[in-house]
Amino acid sequence: MKTNQSDIYARPMRRLLVGLLMASLFLMFLVWRIDSPRVERFRANLVDRVVPSFDWALVPVTRLVGMVEGFQSYQRIYEQNQELRRELQQMKAWKEAALQLEQENAQLLNLNNVRLDAQLSFVTGVVLADSGSPFRQSVLLNIGARDGIVDGWATTDGLGLVGRISGVGQQTSRVILLTDSNSRIPIMVQPSGQTALLVGDNSAAPPVEFLEAPEKVRPGDRVVSSGDGGVFPAGLLVGHVAMGTDRRLRVRLAADYERLEFLRVLRSHPGEKVEDDGALIISTPALPPMPQQVFGVDNEGGDQPLTDGDDR
């Protein structure tokens, strides 16, 4: 009986509450939709009284937004820290390279009687649009056979070695870059003096192969052309050693491949060939020997020179 009586009173109360809620919502709708100055003042007063009391409801949202912003700020700080660590490693490598260059410069300053090759001049050409070739990494220059360009000469951009001439026309010539897969040049790693080959693989940092003692080479070491085989003049700056993501020694090229506008073609003439080793030894006629004077003792007790005809 008690359960039935509670059901009898609960149902009408629920219906009454639902009806009041619907009526309240309908009245609120009418209040916000009626366009009247009085109703507008009523809405303004209602907002002024009710909205400030809801500040406590916005506290969790404000805290959550603050936590998200703090996490994003921490993430940015972490990324900047990692970037600074990488730059610090690069600066250490550049510092060692600068020390090596300083030592090399001090040694070169002592060699003040070195005779440089006067024939090693250059011709500057403008890089043209590439019209296609068997090479993936190559450019065209507006200088050719009329300017005395010879196939195989080295090209630089003023900072470092870029490539070599591979194909000469009357007015243009093609330069195959060091990054091309067909490029192979002999190099030397300083200061260890290790010789190797720089092999292009169509990437911005070509790998180093045929290195005799890789343990003597460190990232940041200077790489120059070795001059082996007469391909390039010796001592041309190529770049610096770097460790690739594949744990292979690679060369970070000194030339700026992103802005190749002008290239210098080095006129490298072959050296004099020595056919006979004995021709290097120049024999000068010997001077006749001076007559030797033999001193003897004369009758007066003094020393007198004796000639070959004297018989004392």
pLDDT tens string 19-32: 888 888 888 777 77
**Is the distance from CB of 221 to CB of 97 less than 8 angstroms?**
yes
pLDDT (tens digit per residue) in 94-143:
877 777 777 666 556 555 544 445 556 788 888 886 655 556 788 899 99
Q: Rounded mean pLDDT of 223-237?
A: 84
**Is the distance from CB of 125 to CB of 261 less than 8 angstroms?**
no
Q: Rounded mean pLDDT of 282-301?
A: 50
Identity of the residue numbered 286: A
Mean pLDDT rounded to a whole number for the chain: 77
**Is the distance from CB of 187 to CB of 154 less than 8 angstroms?**
no
Helix (H) or strand (E) holding 65: helix 55-110
**Which region among 87-91, 130-134, 159-163, 294-298 has the lowest average model confidence (pLDDT)?**
294-298
Residue 49, CA distances (Å) to 56, 59, 78 in order:
15, 19, 46
**Which region among 116-125, 168-177, 224-233, 296-305 has the lowest average model confidence (pLDDT)?**
296-305
Q: Rounded mean pLDDT of 285-311?
A: 49
Q: Quick check: 208 pLDDT over 90?
A: yes
Distance CA 42, CA 48 (A): 10
Distance CA 189, CA 108 (A): 17
pTM: 0.50
Q: Quick check: 260 pLDDT over 90?
A: no
Distance CA 292, CA 151 (A): 64
Dihedral through CA 158, CA 161, CA 162, CA 164, nearest 10? 120
Of 44 and 66, more confident: 66
Q: What is the pLDDT confidence band of residue 231, given thresholds at 50, 70 and 90?
A: confident
pLDDT of residue 105: 66
Distance CA 11, CA 128 (A): 91
Helix (H) or strand (E) holding 88: helix 55-110
Q: Quick check: 39 pLDDT over 70?
A: yes
Distance CA 122, CA 244 (A): 33
Distance CA 107, CA 99 (A): 12
Q: What is the pLDDT confidence band of residue 177, given thresholds at 50, 70 and 90?
A: very high
* Length, in residues, of the chain: 312
Neighbours of 227 (CB within 10 A): 17
